[in-house]
Amino acid sequence: MNRDEPVQSMARTFVYAILLIIASVAVFNVIIYEGEVPSFLTVYGLGGIGDACDLPGACVEPLQCMSGMCVLLETEKGGRCNHEDLQCASPLLCHNSLCKERAGVGESCDERSMNVCAGDSFCLDGVCRSQV
């Protein structure tokens, strides 16, 4: 009998025990959580633009977690937006892929000035008008 055989046998037994523990935990999770790993057992990495998220601070700076997705909030008027992962910060509105201010009824509106009418109002002769 080789002197290294007992050590190798013990190492092999240790590896098998670890694998058995891992398999048992996996089966336990499937049974208890019906195939879904609960969020408190997952390790969160920082998400990139468009990645799924469910916690504040789960996205890479300057991205923010909104509606379950890491998005870039453009804070300045005139910033790019696309209603998906490039969203305007409140109270700006995404119109024609640009963040614009919302103008109320009676306020001036103009594509060049970056003001668009809010809600159901519409722009006529440079002024936001009510639908009714």
Q: Is residue 9 part of a domain?
A: yes
Q: In what order do the strands lie in the sheet with 86-88?
A: 64-66, 69-74, 86-88
Give the count of domains, the chain: 2
Q: Is 6 helix (H, G, I), strand (E, B) or coil?
A: helix
Q: What is the mean pLDDT of residues 41-49?
A: 62
Q: What is the mean pLDDT of residues 5-33?
A: 71
Neighbours of 23 (CB within 10 A): 10
Measured between alpha carbons, how far is 63 from 111 in angstroms, rounded to an integer? 28
pLDDT at 5 over 60: yes
Confidence of residue 51 (pLDDT cuts 50, 70, 90): confident
Residues 47 and 71 sit within 8 Å (Cβ to Cβ): no
Query: Alpha helices, DSSP H only, in the chain?
Result: 5-33
Strands (E) across 47-118 are located at 64-66, 69-74, 86-88, 93-95, 98-103, 115-117
Q: What is the mean pLDDT of residues 1-15?
A: 77
Note the pLDDT of residue 106: 92
Give, in degrees to the nearest 5, the angle at Cα 37 between 31 and 40. 125
80 and 37 in a single domain? The answer is no
Q: Is residue 28 part of a domain?
A: yes
Note the pLDDT of residue 90: 76
- Structural domain for 80, as ranges: 75-129
Considering the chain, what percentage of its residues have pLDDT values greater than 70? 74
Q: Is residue 49 part of a domain?
A: no
Query: Which tens digit of pLDDT belongs to each residue from 54-103?
Result: 887 888 888 888 888 888 876 678 888 887 777 787 788 888 888 888 88
